[in-house]
Chains A and B, each alone.
Chain A
Amino acid sequence: MSLATRSLLRASLPVAAGYLSLGFTFGLMFSELGGTTLEAFVISVLCFAGAAQFLALTSYSAGFNPWTLLLSLVILNFRHIFYTLNLWPAIKELRSRFYLVAALTDENFASWNLHRKMLSKAQYPVMFGLNHFYWIAGCTLGSLVPSQLLAGLKGIDFALTALFLVLLLGQLRTLSGAKS
């Protein structure tokens, strides 16, 4: 294993811890609502958005309103627009540019921002792909847990509220940091 690959793996460990545990929680909650492993896998591959996936769980029932869900998702994901604006100038010549935009989560944007000086541009898709893999593994494994075990997990849905509270505190910190 090359030094660059090793340092990339080491740099991705904090994201791995977050994505595996949060993804696992998503998978658990999704299967509790009647979602299948295949659905969890497809969503984690093609959507790949932590907060949005959790928010969508509140609509995962018969007779859901698709327009309400779509509007909520667009409002929630609005910040991604600014991530793309920042990232695009650095990746617009790469062959993997559309994948990088499609996989632009909060964590991938933060990782790119933090490590871009030590990484070559060719390593961007590797870093994004590695983090994407952690998320897919977490969501898929979580959805495989037998439903009998879920009875003891009452209240796990609070993880969603906790996630949003942490997000709110982060925004307040950013805003107060920008003012001072």
Chain B
Amino acid sequence: MMSATEKIIFILILIAGTQVTRFAPLVSPNIIQSVPPQAQRRLSLVIAIFLVGYCYRDVASTPEYLLRLGAGVMVILLELLFSRTLLSIFGATLCYMLAVRVMG
């Protein structure tokens, strides 16, 4: 259980970690504008790969890892077939929840 102080620190970090990136260009616009657009796009891709890797970091240690991998494949297939973000996210999540319940 988190203490009240920990909760306050958690919320402050969450706000700071988000807003600092939104306001950073107003503080030092020249440095950031010097990054070429192609590099900006590649950086965004690296960040997205990092996030997916973060979610699957302990996948092999959980009993449902095969289901998580399968649900991940389902997200990709749904997105490639229909390009509907909500359908991809909630369709695969719903199937994963059902599978966890049936298998567990």
Contact = CB atoms under 8 A, between A and B. Distances in A.
B21 A74 contact: yes
A172 B45 contact: yes
B41 A175 contact: yes
A149 interface: no
Interface string B74-104: 0110011000011011101100110111001
B93 A34 contact: no
Given A66-B13, A80-B21, A85-B32, 4 more contacts: A69-B14, A81-B24, A161-B75, A171-B44
Interface string A155-180: 11011111111111111101100100
A47 B16 CA distance: 8
Interface string A14-27: 00011001100000
Q: Name the residue in B22, B72, B100 with the highest tally of chain A Cβ atoms < 10 Å from its Cβ.
A: B22
Interface string A42-63: 1100111101110110111111
Interface of B: 1-3, 6-7, 9-11, 13-26, 29, 32-33, 38, 40-45, 47-52, 54-56, 64, 68, 71-72, 75-76, 79-80, 85-86, 88-90, 92-93, 96-97, 99-101, 104
Contact of A80 (B11, B22, B93): B22
B93 A70 contact: no
Main SS at interface, chain B:
helix
Given A66-B13, A166-B75, A155 B33 contact: no
Interface residues of A, number: 67
A151 to B, nearest CB: 11
Contacts of B86: 17-18, 21
- Which interface residue of A51, A52, A76 has the most chain B CB atoms within 10 A? A76
A88 B22 contact: no
Contact of B72 (A64, A83, A165): A165
Given A81-B25, A161-B52, A171-B45, A56 B10 contact: yes
Contacts of A102: 19, 22-23
Contacts of A160: 55
